[in-house]
């Protein structure tokens, strides 16, 4: 017979089981990986320096966000095809990276501060690209745009550190803010009320950077031959950047 005592036990045990499951799920978002190397001494040092004066996880996440947003310049022409290109300690050292690189770094910094952090992806349509980037990609659709999610005050909050303040001013877009309690997402319009960014599809969240999935998604969206040409050009340049994105002509699509 299922009496009140059994019902109480079911509720308590069920709650405990759910809590245990949540703790186990959060655990993978606290641990370092070979790419999101939150245990690297340079990552730990930069995290500690960045969160000085912060007393709680929300304040720490906010400080980390701005450290990555403006301390690492957005660069869509950086190498992208090997795990090491996304390794957080490398991104920190290079001070440049495209959205996934910057999201990986922010993810590592969050974990270094004990905050469960994961990386998420979406397909976005960028209406304010440069002429040179549009010609290279053959599309204004950015597949596997990367962002970061922090587990703060019991919920996952999105942070998008992709564009540094200087780049936003060039594109006449208000720099994207983050308060640790609300999702920080690209604005649909810029300061001139022209279309800026459109979220087309969400591609899920991960505990680590899925490099193979990113490459596969790009090959499908832009063509295997085109992606191969990008890789070949980077290898011929010994991994050095071929262009300066911040100096290019903004093209409104």
Residue 7 counted as domain residue? no
CA 129, chain centre distance (Å): 19
How many domains, in total, are found in the chain?
Answer: 1
The whole model's pTM is what?
0.87
Residue 19 counted as domain residue? no
Sign of the Cα pseudo-torsion (39, 175, 218, 158, in order): positive
Q: Is the pLDDT of residue 61 over 90?
A: yes
The per-residue pLDDT for range 103-156, each reduced to its tens digit, is 999 999 999 999 999 999 999 988 667 888 888 999 989 999 999 999 999 999
Average pLDDT over residues 21-50: 90
Residue 10 counted as domain residue? no
Residue 24 counted as domain residue? no
Q: What CATH number has the domain bearing residue 200?
A: 3.10.620.30
Question: Domain of 216?
Answer: 30-252
Residue 190 counted as domain residue? yes
Residue 114 counted as domain residue? yes
Sign of the Cα pseudo-torsion (148, 151, 152, 155, in order): positive
Report residue 93's pLDDT band, with 50, 70 and 90 as the boundaries: very high
**Predicted local confidence at residue 132, as pLDDT:** 87
Residue 4 counted as domain residue? no
Distance (Å, whole) CA 203 – CA 146: 10
Distance (Å, whole) CA 13 – CA 9: 6
**Predicted local confidence at residue 8, as pLDDT:** 52
How much of the chain, in percent, has pLDDT values that exceed 70?
A: 84
Instruction: List CB contacts of 16: < 8 A, sequence separation 6 or more.
Output: none
The per-residue pLDDT for range 192-242, each reduced to its tens digit, is 676 678 899 999 999 999 999 999 999 999 999 999 999 999 999 876 777
**Predicted local confidence at residue 167, as pLDDT:** 86
Residue 16 counted as domain residue? no
């Amino acid at each position: 017979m299922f009496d009140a005592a059994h019902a109480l036990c079911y509720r308590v045990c069920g709650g405990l089981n759910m809590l245990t499951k949540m703790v186990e799920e959060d655990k993978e978002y606290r641990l370092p990986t070979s790419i999101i190397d939150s245990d690297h001494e340079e990552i730990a040092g930069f995290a500690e320096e960045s969160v000085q004066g912060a007393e709680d996880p929300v304040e720490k996440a906010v400080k980390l966000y701005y450290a990555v947003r403006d301390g690492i310049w957005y660069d869509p022409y950086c190498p992208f095809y090997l795990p090491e290109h996304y390794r957080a300690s490398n991104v920190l050292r290079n001070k440049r990276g495209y959205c996934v690189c910057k999201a990986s770094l922010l993810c590592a910094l969050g974990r270094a501060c004990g905050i469960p952090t994961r990386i998420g992806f979406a397909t976005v349509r960028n209406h304010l690209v440069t002429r040179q980037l549009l010609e290279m990609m053959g599309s204004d659709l950015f597949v596997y745009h990367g962002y970061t999610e922090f587990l703060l005050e019991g919920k996952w909050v999105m942070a998008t550190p992709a564009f540094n303040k200087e780049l936003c001013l060039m594109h006449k877009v208000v720099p994207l803010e983050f308060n640790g309690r609300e999702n920080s997402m690209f604005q649909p319009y810029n300061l001139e009320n022209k279309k800026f960014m459109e979220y087309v599809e969400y591609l899920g969240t991960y505990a680590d950077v899925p490099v193979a999935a990113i490459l596969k998604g790009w090959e499908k969206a832009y063509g295997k031959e085109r992606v191969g040409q990008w890789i070949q050009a980077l290898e011929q340049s010994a991994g050095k950047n071929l262009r300066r994105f911040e100096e290019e002509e903004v093209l409104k699509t």
